[in-house]
Amino acid sequence: MNDVKSWNEAINRVLEPTIIKTKNILDNYKYLYDIADKLRKAKEEVIKNLGYYIDKTMKSVEMVGGTSYLARDSEEARKIIGELVGTNKKIVMGKSMVAYEVGIRQYLINMGNEVWETDLGEFLIQLADEYPSHIIAPAIHMTKERAAQLLKEKIDPNIDESRSPEDLVKSVRKFLRAKFLNADIGISGANAVAADTGAVLMIENEGNIRMTSVLPPTHIVITGIEKIVPTLEYGFYEVMVQSAFGSLYPPTYVNLTAGPSSTADIEHNRVRPAQGPKEFHLILVDNGRSKAARDPVLWEALLCIRCGRCYFHCPIYKTIGPSWGIPPYNGPTGVMWNAVIRGLNNKNVGETAMLCVHAGGCKESCPMKINIPEVIHYIKTLYLRSL
Q: What is the pLDDT of residue 160?
A: 84
Mean pLDDT, the chain, whole residue set:
96
pLDDT tens digits, one per residue of 164-176: 999 999 999 999 9
Round to whole Å and give the CA distance between 43 and 39: 6
pLDDT tens digits, one per residue of 337-352: 999 999 999 999 999 9
Average pLDDT over residues 182-203: 98
Q: How many CB atoms lie within 10 A of CB 133?
A: 28
> Please, are residues 195 and 61 in contact by the beta-carbon 8 Å criterion?
no
The DSSP string of 281-344 is EEEEE-TTHHHHHTSTTGGGGGG-----GGGGG-HHHHHH-TTSEETTEEHHHHHHHHHHHH-T
The DSSP string of 248-275 is --S-SEEEEE-SS--B-TTTT--BS--S
Which has the closest alpha carbon to 94: 55, 71, 67, 122?
Answer: 122
pLDDT tens digits, one per residue of 121-148: 999 999 999 999 999 899 999 999 999 9
Q: What is the pLDDT of residue 3?
A: 74
Alpha helices in 156-249 (DSSP H): 165-181, 208-214, 232-245
Q: What is the pLDDT of residue 266?
A: 95
pLDDT tens digits, one per residue of 247-263: 999 999 999 999 999 99
Q: What is the pLDDT of residue 1?
A: 47
Q: What is the pLDDT of residue 4?
A: 78
Which has the closest alpha carbon to 284: 229, 213, 225, 220?
Answer: 225
Round to whole Å and give the CA distance between 196 and 17: 39
For residue 105, is pLDDT > 70?
A: yes
Average pLDDT over residues 293-309: 97
For the chain, the helix, strand and coil percentages under 3-state DSSP, each to the nearest 5:
55, 15, 35
Round to whole Å and give the CA distance between 233 and 212: 24
Helix/strand/coil for 214: helix
How many percent of the chain have pLDDT more than 90?
94
Which has the closest alpha carbon to 333: 348, 346, 352?
Answer: 352
Bridge-based pairing of strands 67-71 and 279-285 is: parallel
How many percent of the chain have pLDDT more than 70?
99
Q: What is the pLDDT of residue 225?
A: 98
Least confident of 4-18, 32-46, 211-225: 4-18
